[in-house]
Each structure stands twice: as C-alpha cells, then as structure tokens.
Structure 1
Amino acid sequence: MSIQSTIEATTASLSPSLQRIAAIVRERPQIVLESTINQLAEACETSVASVVRFCQAIGLTGYAQLRVTLATELGKQAAQFGPSDQGAEISPTDTLEQAARKITTLELMAIDETLGTLDFAVMETIIDHVESASRIILYGIGASQFVADDLQHKLFRIGREAFSFRDPHEAWSAAALPIGGVVALGISHSGETHETLKFLQIAADNGAYTVGLTGVPGSSLAKLADATLLTKVRESTFRAGAMVSRIAQLALIDCLFTGIAQRRYRFTVDALRRTREVTRGT
C-alpha cells in the first residue's frame, strides 16, 4: 500500500492533532518535501512530537522516512500519471479541466494500486466458495449498494442465485436463514457501517461464508469477515458518498466476476449471448 493510501485508511482512527497533520499531508503532500519537521508542525498547529507520532502511526520510523517515502512515491506517480499535482486535492481556483484531470488521476491510481496489491490467493478462495454456493447475498449502503447491485446483475445474467438488498431488514432476514452453502458479501469503504456489519455477523452466525470489501485493513468489517478484499484509494474533497473508492470497488468486483465466469466458460459465454439477444432492441 502506498503511504498516501495508508494515510487515507488510517486517518479516522487518529487523534484530533494527528488528524490535522493527515489532512494537510493528504491535501498537499509536497509540503513534506518542502518543509522541515518544525515547519510542518507549525503549519498543522501542533507539536514536533505529534508529527513524529503521526509518522509512527502510519508505520514509519520518523519524519525522515516520511520525506523519502513520499518523494519516491510522488516521483513514480509523476512518471506514470503525469505531474504530481494532478493527484492532489481539488482547489477553488482549479479550472474544470484541472479538476477533471485530478479526479482521473486519483481513479487511475486507485485501480492501479488496488489491483497491484490484490491478494490473488484470497480472491481464488472466495471464487471457490462462490462456485459451490447455493446462494450469494450482497449488501452495502449508499454507493456500496450500487456496487452490490452491479455484482448481483452480473451474476444473475450467468445463472447464479445472487441477491442484493436495499432494505437492511430484508438483508438481515436473508442472512438469518440457515441455508447451507451461502456466501455473504458485505461492502463498506470505512468498514464500520453498522447495518453492513450486522448483516455479515448474522450471516456468519447462521453458517455463511463471509466476505468483506473495504478500504480499511484493520476495520471491524475486515476483522469479522472470513475473507477480505481491500481497496487502496485516496478520496477527493468532493466526496459525495464515494467517488474514487467506488471505482476501486468496481474494479475488484469485475475481477471477482471474471474469475467466477471463467470457471464455467462455455456456459457463461452462452448465457451472456442469450440474455443479450433477448433484451436487444427492447
């Protein structure tokens, strides 16, 4: 995971003083390269000791390592995606074109890092369980609901018994049925959405194989699930529910679906052909 994505995933668990540092570094990572530790502490209205604690909270030994790590990371980003400020936060003075380029860069980086760090052994295990599942139940709230709906639509078109729920009571009721061979997938970027956690817990209590899709490795969802798929993202300031995280989630969902579809390749191709033909022109 990149250090910027680590900061994104860790921020919510930090103390207020460390969150101020995280917010400034997320908004303008170049400040670390341009400032001494004293200057950064002053800019964040905090102490040098807090800056050191911040570095340790994100897995680094200190400020020197943060500067080296960020410099390397920003250099790679510039080489791969263009000028490093394209991945920075959107500012009030940005033109529409500049803002669009920044969003594009954030989304490209999210897909690249999410798939670049994907644990394919975990993905294969999940596919094994889905392949033999009698029922697949999916749940998420807000933007995560759209991701769940997307996977349900794809799986349903290739003949899989998949259900996505919009009402939490319906999701909990489905999860409470002690049917053998159920796979339950809960989606939450923060990994702390109450309704999604309850859905996955009920499913686990009734014998389902549980999967979590989240952007926070140490979240409650990640700890609860039998298997976890992780996104690596840096969200924009204008985060209406989800923007970049949704793209990363959809990338994982597409990989999951592709792995499932490959297991019954000929049937999948025929099923997609049949459903495409029957809906063509309607």
Structure 2
Amino acid sequence: MRALGPSLTRSVQAVADAVAADPAGCARLTVTALAERTGTSEATVVRTARLLGYAGYRDLRLALAALAAQQEPGASPALTVDIAVDDPLADVVAKLAHEESRTLADTAAGLDLGRLGAAVAALCAAHRIDVYGVGASALVGQDLAQKLLRIGLIAHAHSDPHLAVTGAVQLGPGDVAVAVSHSGSTDDVIEPLRVAFERGATTVALTSRSNAPVTRYADLVLATSAAHESELRPAAMSSRTSQLLVVDCLFVAVAQQTYERAAPALAASYEALAPRRSARSPRP
C-alpha cells in the first residue's frame, strides 16, 4: 500500500491509508462502514481492493484479519513512526526501532528471489559494474561499490550525474549498471541507467516503486519497502535501511558464488589496511 501510494487517486489513497493504519480495525468493517469511515464510496473501496491485487473487498478483509493475527503479542497498537516534537527520548527510540524493523521485514518478505538471483549472477560475471545514486541513495551506492571492490570486482559508484553518464556510455554487453533510487523518479539516476540500458549492459533498479520511471530501463527490479515519512523525517532513514539490506543480500550472495576469488581479495584488502588501522589506534 505504501509503495502504490504516489500513483493512487485521492479517494483510493484515503482507503489505502485507513487500511494501512489499522488493518485489524478495518478487517471488522463492512464495505459500507469502511466507505463511511474514509468519506468515499463502496465502489472506491472495492476498486482499492482490486488495485491491491485482491478479487474483491472480502478477500482484502481476510488478508487484513490474517495480518492482524500475525502481529506480535503484547505489541503496542499505539506505536507509530509519527514522532511528535514533544515526544520523550525513549518514545523516539522505540518508534524508530519499530519502523526500522518493520521496513526490514517488509523488504525481505517482498524480495523476488528469482530477480535477486539473476542480479547476483550478472554481478558475478560482470566485466565492470557502475552504480548510480544521488543524495541519500548515493551513500547506498557507495556501500555496494565498495563491498564489491573488496572482493575483487571492478565497481564504481557515481553520485555526480555528469560523470555517471560519462561512465555509462562506456558500458556494454557483459557489464552491469545499478540504479539506486527510493522514489525511482530521480532524473540524475534514470538518465545514466537509460544510457547503459541502450548500450546493452544488464541494468538493475533498486527502488520502492515497481512502476517508477527508473524501471523502464531496468532489466531487473529489486523492490524495497516504501518507508513512511513524516514532518520530522522528510528523508526517512528506514528507506536507506531497506536499500542496505538488499545491498548486503547482493554482496553476500556474490561472495558465496565467487568464493575462491572473493576470499583472497577480501583478505588482501584487510591486510593492506591493517597498518593504517594500527597507526590510528587510540593513545594510551
């Protein structure tokens, strides 16, 4: 529901928001009652259920009831990510931890293992790997490139859009381009991926929206959970958390499949950096 949010009409969004906020409560409502609660119509409620992949409202109610039954015993239903200005520090910590863990669980549950495996295979065989990301996603892109570099792969992270396109024109079949964008609508990420796609490189998009513009040029789409954002968290940390989970999945799987090369490369990089770590050790 959070992933589809930006593409929904206002009335459908109202139903989706109500269901996402209170799945247990909505599971007890008839289609008429939910329409009244959201200020919409019965037809809108049914249309929302179908947009979410259900045959009708009855199937959506059953899914909501099952979701409510799976909630952890003793969990506080009042726990949300809407952090108020006057929230005590303990509440801030609890709310953030709750959102982070929920985002990780949602991302893991929603990952398409077939696509993930295909992305791993492409990375293992790649001559060169370019990763594109700007803003907060640039940090995730740098993390992926650095991890792959340490196990012997040729990987570059680009946060400058001009350099990203310059690098993309050098790619071709046998290379891989990875675009990291939570919204999937960042032009500075879409453009280099488009260039890499048109030159025959295998392209991968890491995004929370399966129908985002960036996916038009992606051979493989790896979906992350759509993080909830609020006034105090306009760039939600949990969006990066979900991206970093997928990065770790890619890295570990690639390291497994290229272990004979990855293990010595990782050991060599660790050994090369050892003198710098000891030189910077704290004084007694």
Cα distance in structure 2, aligned partners of 1:25 and 1:51: 10
2:82 aligns with 90
- Quick one: distance in 1 between partners of 2:167 and 2:130? 8
Aligned to 1:161: 154
Tell me the SS of whatever aligns to 2:15: helix
- Give the Cα separation in 2 of the matches to 1:224 and 1:106: 31
Contact 2:132 2:189 in 1 (8 A): yes
5+ residue gaps, structure 2: none
Structure-1 separation of matches of 2:210 and 2:108:
15
CA separation of 1:248/1:98 partners in 2, compared to 1, >3 Å: closer, same or farther? same
* Partners of 1:203 and 1:210 within 8 A in 2: yes
Give the aligned partner of residue 250 of structure 1: 244
Amino acid at match of 2:50: Q
SS of 1:218 mapped into structure 2: coil
Whole-Å separation in 2 of the counterparts to 1:45 and 1:112? 32
Instruction: Tell me what 1:137 maps to.
Output: 130
1:185 corresponds in structure 2 to: 178
> Aligned equivalents of 1:206 and 1:47: distance in 2?
48
Is 1:224 aligned with 2:217?
yes
Gaps of 5+ in 1: 1-6
Q: Distance in 1 between matches of 2:101 and 2:174?
A: 36
- 1:162 is displaced (CA, Å) by 1.4
Q: Distance in 2 between matches of 1:157 and 1:168?
A: 24
Q: The residue matched to 2:72 in structure 1 has which SS? A: helix
Q: Counterpart in 2 of 1:77?
A: 71
State which of 98, 105, 110 in structure 2 corresponds to 1:112.
105
Q: Residue 43 of structure 2 aligns with which residue?
A: 49
Give yes or no for the alignment of 1:211 onto 2:204.
Answer: yes
Whether the 8 Å contact between 2:134 and 2:160 is mirrored in structure 1 is no
C-alpha separation in 2, matches of 1:23 and 1:123: 29
Q: Counterparts of 1:22 and 1:140 in 2: how far apart (Å)?
A: 30
- Counting aligned pairs with the same residue, the percent is 33
Distance 1:184-1:266 versus aligned 2 partners, 3 A rule? same
* Alignment check: 8 A CA contact 2:168 2:192 kept: yes
Q: Residues of 2 paired with 1:192 and 1:38: CA distance?
A: 36
Q: 1:22 to 1:142 in 2, by over 3 A?
A: farther
Alignment of 1:20-31 (within 5 A): 20-31=14-25
2:234 alignment counterpart = 240
Partner of 1:33 in structure 2? 27
Structure 1: distance between partners of 2:27 and 2:81: 17
- Does residue 6 of structure 2 align to residue 9 of structure 1? no
Q: CA deviation at 1:207?
A: 2.1
Q: Measure the CA separation in 2 of the matches of 1:37 and 1:179.
A: 52
| TM-score scaled by length of structure 1 | 0.85
> d(CA) in 2 for partners of 1:30 and 1:108?
20
- Say if 1:84 and 1:268 are closer, same or farther in 2 by CA, change over 3 A: farther
- CA change 1:62–1:268 in 2 (3 A) is same
User: Are the equivalent residues in 2 in contact too, given 1:75–1:84 (CA < 8 A)?
Assistant: no
| Corresponding position: 1:201 with 2:203 | no
Secondary structure in 2 matching 1:144: helix
Counterparts of 1:75 and 1:97 in 2: how far apart (Å)? Answer: 27
Deviations 1:181-239 (A, max 9, x none): 32100012222222222111100112211111111223333342111212134424344
SS where residue 71 of structure 2 aligns? helix
State the Cα distance separating 1:150 from its structure 2 match.
Answer: 1.0
- Give the TM-score normalised by the residue count of structure 2: 0.85
Q: CA distance change for structure 1 residues 117 and 45 in 2, over 3 Å: closer, same or farther?
A: closer
Aligned AA (1:210): T
Q: For this pair of structures, how many residues does the alignment match?
A: 274
Question: What are the superposed Cα offsets for residues 87-141 of structure 1, whole Å, 9 maximum, x if unpaired?
Answer: x442647544334323222221222232234333332322222223222111122
Q: Out of 144, 148, 151, which is 2:141 matched to?
A: 148
Letter in 1 for 2:115: V
For the residues of structure 2 that align with 1:63 and 1:91, how far apart are their CA atoms? 32
Alpha-carbon separation, structure 2, partners of 1:127 and 1:278: 33
Provide closer, same or farther for how the CA distance between residues 16 and 98 of structure 1 changes in structure 2, counting only shifts above 3 A.
same
Are 1:148 and 1:187, in contact at CA under 8 Å, matched by a contact in 2? yes
